[in-house]
Amino acid sequence: MFQSFTAPTSPEQGPPRLAALRKQIKDNGLHGFLVPRADAFQGEYVAPCDERLAWLTGFTGSAGFCAVLDKVAGVFIDGRYRLQVLDQVAPDFTPVHWPEVSLSAWLMDQGCASQVIGFDPWLHTVKEIAALREAAPLIEFKPSKNLVDAIWTDRPARPSAKFFAHPIEFSGKSHEDKITELSAVLAKQGQACTVITLPDAIAWLLNIRGNDIEKNPVPQSFALLHSNGTAELFAPGGKADDILGHLGPKVSVRPMDDFLSAVAALEGPVRIDPKSCPERVLTALTCAGRVVVKAPDLCELPKACKNPVEIAGTREAHLRDGAAMVRFLAWLDAEAPKGGVTEIDVVKTLEGFRRDTNALRDISFDTIAGTGPNGAVIHYRVTEGTNRTLSTGDLIVVDSGGQYLDGTTDITRTIAIGAVGADERRCYTRVLQGMIAISRARFPVGVAGQHIDALARFALWSDGLDFDHGTGHGVGSYLCVHEGPQRISRLSDVPLEAGMILSNEPGYYRAGAFGIRIENLIVVKEAETLVGGDAHRKQLDFETLTYVPLDRRLIDAGLLSSDEKDWIDGYHAATLQLIGPRVDGEAKHWLERACAPL
């Protein structure tokens, strides 16, 4: 079983752990300490041994941090987790709405001027610390040993699984070619070397994968890429033994403990990405007197723009995954009306259908299966304590995905359990209209995710509704289900480019009642020139990758335009054509009914 249904910390465990941390803070001459959800590699997901925020507070969201002071401990959470945090933390912790309230402003409001706030320099990026020091110059932010580690006596061991090669039949380009191309960029820009700490960037560059993070096949390691066309991989002992032949002469493998000394010994201008480079690495470079160039990670954009082999692979992965989803939805429609089906049953059954493909490497994130009011918790994760039985009249939000060698999937469907009210159908249809608007969009080259985001919200706004998360995130190719730099979000100024894979997932959430989210994955492609259009003005549009029926019972056709109805019928016809040959029996009959025209 891929997924645990227990929380790492129950609320009652938080207060004694908080008291122990406050003693450490005082004993080390500090006034406060920052506890982020981060590790030294600065990826979004962390290993159990690095789940310090969850261990201390009980909060298990994928983003957030805690600022612990003598009298108050603020847990900073964004709009996705405003409900979840209330269920997971003790009253000793104070939820803080972030980024509306910045850490620097909050600290000043708490009277921290002239005080010393400690932080682990491995767990905060160069950009984070620079921004804090600029925004709150009256506070001293002081590097420190990790004070949580000092009290976490049963901390899990570091991951030990070995790295493995990712074949070129899935990657589409050799790691030797990637090294050559990016080294040439360094040389052209007069930089001798770049430091790479993001595991997914290293995985992409070297065509390797790992099992260090559940559900994200990344190798926890560091790398240096040199302008002379060579690279160094720094890995824990023995973890790279099985890939030495794959890496070849261009890549040397060194112990992880050599990393800081190797960084300090670099000559010539050294490139770092302040968004992902740990503050500790910058300190090593500056103490050694090295010239530092701050610029984006060289791997970020080429990794995001998938090549034709990766796109073909992800198409196949989505069809395979779509067939598993259809089997699951047919099962759910048959079993839920009988009563007794729980959220945990949904999670286990869906994961089982994916395993039955015999191609699943792992799920791509903890499956979200929230029914009734649990569906309003945007990143809800069921536990034994929150497990709810599906009831007639409820909606259930099922957000899930799989990791396959040829691609990473992520899909959300909201499903009616029996007859539901007109209000739920209206809200669902408004969300669906937003998803359709993104799917149909075409736009000039240079348009960013922040420009596209409003299309997903227009129908919701017309009814006075909205949602508190971005409309879409980037997705990797047998890599992380959340991938930058591309997003469909008010916050993203990164222009969309051909080959970028994104999610398209507007939603609506009513606390204490229900949640709705509909999600397909899409890939940016060059759009055909329109008759009468400007041939010189290149445009882009989206290709849909996900083919799984929408719940027609929740669609209020009276709210739809004729173009929207045509899109839905066309989508369902394509779904039947593509997924139909991959299922049989009752699942095939269910699919035929589900894909009938409106």
Identify the pLDDT of residue 1.
44
Q: List the Cα angle 230/275/140 in 5-degree steps.
A: 125
Q: Taking a C-beta distance cutoff of 8 angstroms, is the pair 105, 256 a contact?
A: no
For residue 162 the two structure tokens come to 């070995």
Residue 4 has pLDDT above 80, yes or no: no
Q: Coil, strand, or helix at residue 324?
A: helix
Q: Which residues touch 479 (CB under 8 Å, ≥6 apart)?
A: 200, 203, 204, 209, 216, 217, 218, 303, 408
Q: Per-residue pLDDT tens for 510-534?
A: 999 999 999 999 999 999 988 776 7
Which of these, 392, 397, 428, lies nearest to 415 by C-alpha position?
Answer: 397
Residue 7 has pLDDT above 90, yes or no: no
Distance separating alpha carbons of residues 365 and 409, to the nearest angstrom: 10
Residue 422 has pLDDT above 70, yes or no: yes
Tell me the whole-structure pTM to 2 decimals. Answer: 0.94
Identify the pLDDT of residue 6.
67
Identify the pLDDT of residue 541.
98
Distance separating alpha carbons of residues 541 and 92, to the nearest angstrom: 49
Average pLDDT of the segment spanning 481-495? 96
Q: Where are the alpha helices (DSSP H) in 392-482?
A: 422-440, 449-462
The DSSP bridge pattern shows strands 73-77 and 93-97 to be parallel
Q: List the Cα angle 154/156/158 in 5-degree steps.
A: 145
For residue 359 the two structure tokens come to 């191609």
For residue 101 the two structure tokens come to 């309230």
Question: In the β-sheet with 222-226, what is the strand arrangement from edge to edge?
Answer: 251-255, 231-235, 222-226, 193-196, 270-272, 292-294
Residue 591 has pLDDT above 80, yes or no: yes
Question: Could you give the domains of the chain?
Answer: 11-151 (3.40.350.10), 164-303 (3.40.350.10), 305-590 (3.90.230.10)
Average pLDDT of the segment spanning 372-395? 94
Residue 82 has pLDDT above 90, yes or no: no
Q: Per-residue pLDDT tens for 215-255?
A: 999 999 999 999 999 999 999 989 999 999 999 999 999 99
Tell me which long-range contacts 50-57 makes (C-beta under 8 A, separation of at least 24): 51/8, 52/146, 52/148, 52/149, 52/152, 54/8, 54/9, 55/8, 55/9, 55/17, 55/148, 55/152, 56/9, 56/14, 56/17, 56/18, 56/21, 56/148, 57/9, 57/14, 57/88, 57/89, 57/93
For residue 290 the two structure tokens come to 């090295």
Residue 485, preceding bond cis, omega within 30 degrees? yes
Distance separating alpha carbons of residues 369 and 157, to the nearest angstrom: 30
Q: Per-residue pLDDT tens for 430-470?
A: 999 999 999 999 999 999 999 999 999 999 999 999 999 99
Average pLDDT of the segment spanning 572-591? 98
Identify the pLDDT of residue 92.
93
Q: Where are the alpha helices (DSSP H) in 336-390?
A: 343-355
Q: Per-residue pLDDT tens for 126-171?
A: 999 999 999 999 999 999 999 999 999 999 999 999 999 999 999 9
Q: Taking a C-beta distance cutoff of 8 angstroms, is the pair 379, 368 a contact?
A: yes
Number of helices (H) and strands (E) in the chain: give both, helices first.
19, 28
Work out the percent of the chain whose per-residue pLDDT is above 90: 91
Terminal-residue alpha carbon distance, the chain: 38
Backbone φ and ψ for 59, nearest 5 degrees, come out as -75, 125
Residue 2 has pLDDT above 60, yes or no: no
Identify the pLDDT of residue 493.
96
Distance separating alpha carbons of residues 284 and 287, to the nearest angstrom: 5
Work out the percent of the chain whose per-residue pLDDT is above 70: 98
Helix, strand, coil shares of the chain as percentages rounded to 5? 40, 20, 40
Q: How many residues does the chain have?
A: 598
Residue with the bigger pLDDT between 63 and 198: it is: 198
Q: Rounded mean pLDDT of the chain?
A: 95
Q: Which residues touch 529 (CB under 8 Å, ≥6 apart)?
A: 535, 539
Identify the pLDDT of residue 180.
98
Distance separating alpha carbons of residues 65 and 84, to the nearest angstrom: 14
Residue in the block written with tokens 């003693």: 23
Instruction: Quote the distance between the C-alpha of residue 72 and its chain's center.
Output: 30
Q: Which residues touch 490 (CB under 8 Å, ≥6 apart)?
A: 450, 453, 470
**Helices 449-462 and 422-440, packing angle to 10 deg:** 150
Q: Per-residue pLDDT tens for 327-336?
A: 999 999 999 9
